Amino acid sequence: MPMPWTYRHASREWRAFLDDVRARMDLVSDNSAYTAVDAVFHVFRRRLTAQQGLDFAGVLPSILRAIFVAGWRVDDPPLPFADRASLTAEVKAVRPDHNLTPDNAIEATAWAVRRFTNRLDLDRVLAGLPDGAAAFWHVDVADPRELDQRIV
């Protein structure tokens, strides 16, 4: 079996993802962009069981997959999904002393994740997750081609 593309090109894929999300959030540093993405992942995974989280992580590029599961306390019971404003406030509260996360952090992360994952796989996994999961990763765009999978 050949090595998966995401493993062979992990650094290149991560760099392109980080550049996309940093630009979409209008942030000036990789550290700020990473912190925002990590916080978005924390907030999302709080609403999933361990199996649901692993199913979701399985469709992510390799470095995003590692970030998604890093430090996860799987024994905490899942929380219900809330409205976008509440979820955004929760994202901003993940690291309040080191967080420059903008109001569009969830949308920008979703936009970038959609550009670096297989759309069919992502939508299939989201359809099997709790109500609110698909809405969390939904992005409104004028041209759907904007979300076409990006090969770096």
Please report, for the chain, the start and end positions of each structural domain, with discontinuous segments joined by +: 5-147
pLDDT category, 152, cuts 50, 70, 90? low
- Residue ranges of E strands in the chain: none
pLDDT category, 2, cuts 50, 70, 90? confident
Six-digit token string for 65:
């997959």
Six-digit token string for 104:
């569009």
Tell me which residue of 119, 120, 101 sits closest to 42, measured CA to CA: 101
CATH of 5-147, one of 3.40.50.1820, 3.50.50.60, 1.10.490.110, 1.10.3210.10: 1.10.490.110
Q: What is the phi/psi pair of residue 53, to 5°?
A: -65, -40
The predicted model scores a pTM of: 0.94
pLDDT in tens, 84-131: 999 999 999 998 877 789 999 999 999 999 999 999 999 999 999 999
Question: Is-contact 65 45, C-beta < 8 A?
Answer: no
